[in-house]
Amino acid sequence: MGSIDQTLVELTCVSCEASERVSVHQAGSNWKAGQWTNPADMFVRFISGWTGLNVWPKLDKAKCLSCGSSDAKVSYPAEVFH
């Protein structure tokens, strides 16, 4: 199985404005799509939990390691959708 789709996921702390982007990929083939890679494994500035990896990664929870806040927003920058 290869990578059939990819996008960027960005987390931004509402309290201290720290942000980080990671690239996530969906495994699969032309015949069957697989799960998205778990963004939690890639973030360095945030501890995060994700759901929906079989359809689309959705942020469940996040904690900023810079300031300790649990108030983070997620975005999927449009310029990298394939």
Burial 3-34, CB ≥16 within 10 A → b, else e: ebeebbbebbbeeeebebebebebebeeeeeb
Q: Tens digits of per-residue pLDDT, 23-68?
A: 998 888 777 778 899 999 999 999 999 999 998 899 999 999 999 9
Q: Is the predicted pLDDT of residue 3 greater than 80, yes or no?
A: no
Confidence grade of residue 2 (pLDDT, cut at 50, 70, 90): low
The pTM assigned to this predicted structure is 0.83
Distance CA 7, CA 23 (A): 6
